[in-house]
Structures are given as structure tokens and as C-alpha cells.
Amino acid sequence: MNNTTLRTFPIYIYNPIEDEWDFISSFEKRKQKKLIHDSNRFADCYLFANALLPSFTLISPLTVGEKFKEYFETLSGACCTILTPKEKTPFMCENIVSDKVLFLSLVSQAKKAGSLTIYSYATTKQVFDLKRTFEAAGVHVHFPEAPDEKDLWTVAHFGSKSGFRKSFERFMPPGSIEYDFKEVVKKASLIFESGAGMVLKTDKGNAGQGVHIFRKSKIKTKDSLEKEIKKVFKAEPFLKKHALILESFIDTSKEKQCPFPSIEYFIHQDGTIELPYYCNMIVTPEGEFYGMEMHKDIFTKKTRNAVLKITTQIAEKYRDLGYRGRFDIDMINDGKHIYANESNTRINGGTDTYLIVKKLVGDDLFSKRYVLSSYMDLPPHISPLFESIRDICAPLLFDKGKNVGIIINSESVIKNGGFSYIIVGKNKKEAIHFHEKLKGALAQK
């Protein structure tokens, strides 16, 4: 979030399930519960996405411990309040209104400040409904990182894999949008015969959910290919009513420096296009996002020119059609050619990392520091408590004097047996050194 001198009361709403509900709701209740939990557990990471604000209120589906809140405030210099609605439906904005005490408190504070500014993880219909509810209560509301409501369609269109492909197929891997199982098998067989692997994607998903990769080395016959596709249709009930995207698999194994480039843009209300950061994504062999690395030299000159040539055209199309706010464009680099892969029309996996490091290091962080963000499962002997991780990592934690070290990115993830973290080094060598020391510290019993 951008710093502002506007006299206002800023709130940040963590509402990923509103954005993902079409996908999540297609599953049976037990699977829904798991997917909701998996998304909500990253809520406290987005404290860091507000580090540039002097003060703000985070509205979270999960409570945040006082010790972690103090850690964030000491590190960032920002002052935060964390509120959790009593209602626990998938729709955070509706939960805010249902919790009368919480809602009226927000109304009171907004009127006292002069206005309310809403920031949200995702721009959804529910956020606009909430905005109108605040306005009906006599609150003047700013929504600076969102399009006009008449242009809300751009969020869903460009944020879906089919919508993005319809608009920008010329920049993407060979592929097609399909709705019928038999047609998918037919076209997948043609890709198979050409000697390439393939990727099947649901139209919506999150952090790798809904992505199925079929490598040529793993599938030997057309019959086995059809069986695997049947498994996908059985596992993904979302496909019964929505599109499936079929693409040739792009082998990135020969590109060692930047196989998965990503770039974030921000379109201001006046249409000005800003490029906050670019990075190389850390992606598992199954296509799951696990972090990123950020530095000015992550992109070679050739990669940077190719990425900017494609993404500038995409960003301008977004702007011209009315989109406003943040979005990223994820790409694939096989060493010879760079392809656009998808776009997330919301706050992104690197946004919080970029904004907290910018607050700590300054605007020239790209040239001053090498930044790595990642995730690991905690060893079973480690107590899944923020205080335990903080104490183990104490010698390695971010040093404001030297502007290097490790940032603990989430208490909630720790409680769930994982560790989300950011490493800031003077260069790649130092960042890797911090990473090795971190793994060594967590391995000690």
C-alpha cells in the first residue's frame, strides 16, 4: 500500500476466499474446508503489505498473537490494529457487516478521521457491497487500488486463465480453451504425438491448485494419457461447469538464471502505469509457487527486454479497458523464448516482500540488496510457535543497522507446521549464506 497524507482511516481486508469461491465451492465440504484453511493461514503475511502506511487496521479471518504484532510494528515502524469478525463464512466483507460491534466501530473511527480508505487482497463484488454499506452509514469511502465498479469485469476476465488466453494468446504457449472431455483427449493426443508434454489447468485456482503437468517421460501411451486426463476431470469438479486450458508443456530445465520471470504492475486511478518490481518465481515441479528472488540482475538484458516488450502491451490493454490497481504477469522462460503464462489481478505473492523491504532498505533496494522469499516445512522437533522460531533465528534476524538478515513473515504459517520467511542480503552470496545458516539452525535438536 502506498503511503498517504490524506486524512483518513485505512483498513486492509484479507479476503482471498471471495476471489477463489467459484473454484473452492465446486468441491465437497471437507475439501472446501482445507482449501479455505490453506488460503487463510497466510493472512498475517499481509501485515507486511501495509508497511508503508504509518497506521492501519488489518481485518483478518484469523487472530494474530500480540508478540508477532509487536515484532511487525518494531520492524516496520507502522502501528497496526488487527480485528477478526465473529462470523466465519467464506465472505469476509459480509462477515464485517454481520459483526455489528466491529462494523459500528469502523464507522465511528472513519467518521472521526474524516473518511475511510479500503485496501483489499482482492477486488470483489463483496468489497463494493461493503463500500456501499459504509456509505449508507454516512462514511466517505476511498477505494484507491480498484477499478470503477462498472469495470469490475476486468478483474475476473484477466484473472481467469481463459480470459487471459482469449486476450493474449499470441504471447502464450501453444494451447486452447476446452469444455468437453472428448475434445480434451483428442487435442492432448495431438500434443502427445508431437513429442511434447502438456499442462491441464482449471480456469481458476490458487498457488498451483488446479494445475496438472504431464511430462512426456511419464506417459508412454495414448491409453495411459486418457486415463490420466480422466483422473483430472474426476479430481476437479470445477471442470463440469467451467473451462479447461490445455497447453504444451514448456521445459525450463535449460534456463538456470530466470526460468519463471514475473513482473508486477500498478495502474493508478489516472491511468499512469507503474512497475514496482520484477522477480524470478520459485516454482515446484508440480507448478506450485514457493517464493521468489528479487534483484536488478535477476533478469539479463535479453530477458528484461523480452519481458517488458510483452508485459507493457498487456498492461496498456488493462488500463485502456478500465482495470486499476495491482496485478502481476507470470511468465515461462525456456532459455530461447519467453511466454506469458497467467495474470493475478490482485495483491500478489511478492507484494508483501517488496513493500516491507522497500520500507526497510529504501527505493533503491533493487541495486542495494538481493532478496529471497521462501517457505519450508518445519522439522518435527521444532515447537510450532512464533517465539520458538524467533529465538532460534535471533542471531540471523534482520538488522536495521546493516539492513540484512531474515524476516519472519507469518506466525500463522508457523502454527501450521511451516515457515514463511524473507532473506535480505547485500548480494546473492550473502543471501544464500543466510539461508544455509537458517537451515542449519532449524536442524539442530
**101 and 181 together in one domain:** no
- The CATH number of whichever domain residue 203 belongs to comes to 3.30.1490.20
Same domain, 237 and 334: no
238-297, pLDDT tens digit by residue? Answer: 777 788 899 999 999 889 899 999 999 999 999 999 999 999 998 877 777 778 999 999
Domain membership of residue 166 (yes or no) is no
Other beta carbons less than 10 A from residue 40's beta carbon: 18
pLDDT band at 358 (very low <50, low <70, confident <90, very high): very high
Residue 3 covered by a domain = no
Instruction: Look at residue 156 and tell me if it is in a domain.
Output: no
169 domain residue, yes or no:
no
DSSP per residue, 48-115: GGGTTSSEEEEE-SS---HHHHHHHHHHH--EEEEE--S--SS-HHHHHHH-HHHHHHHHHHHHHHT-
Residue 135 shares a structural domain with residue 18: yes
Q: Three cell numbers at 211? A: 494445475
Q: Evaluate whether 93 touches 99 at the Cβ level (below 8 Å).
A: no
Q: Residues 200, 119: one domain?
A: no
Residue 21 falls inside a structural domain: yes
Instruction: Give the helix ranges, DSSP H, for 222-362.
Output: 222-235, 301-320, 351-361
Residue 70 lies in a domain: yes
pLDDT digits (tens, 9 = 90+) for 186-206: 888 888 888 788 899 888 876
User: Do residue 268 and residue 413 come from a single domain?
Assistant: yes
Is residue 168 in some structural domain? no
Cα–Cα distance measured from residue 224 to residue 233, given in angstroms and rounded to the nearest whole number = 15
In a domain, 254, yes or no: no
What are 129-156's pLDDT values in tens digits? 999 999 999 999 999 999 999 999 999 9
CATH number at residue 423: 3.30.470.20
**Do residues 323 and 417 both lie within one domain?**
yes
Query: Tens of pLDDT along 13-55?
Result: 999 999 999 889 988 899 899 999 999 999 999 999 999 999 9
Question: 402 and 334 in one domain?
Answer: yes
120 and 186 share one domain:
no
Query: What is the domain range of residue 189?
Result: 174-248
State the pLDDT confidence band at 425, using cuts at 50, 70 and 90: very high
One domain, residues 242 and 267:
no
Number of structural domains (the chain) is: 3
Domain shared by 233 and 373, yes or no? no
Domain boundary among 224, 248, 272: 248
**Locate cell 507446521: which residue?**
417
State the average pLDDT over residues 414-436.
96
Q: Are 410 and 42 in contact (CB under 8 A)?
A: yes
Could you tell me if 112 and 196 lie in one domain? no
Which pLDDT score, from 0 to 100, does residue 207 have?
A: 59
- Which of 219, 248, 277 corresponds to the end of one domain? 248
Name the domain boundary from 248, 269, 302: 248
Q: Are residues 344 and 432 in the same domain?
A: yes
Contact 141, 113 (CB under 8 A): no
Residue 265, SS3?
A: strand
Positions of E strands within 365-417: 370-377, 405-408
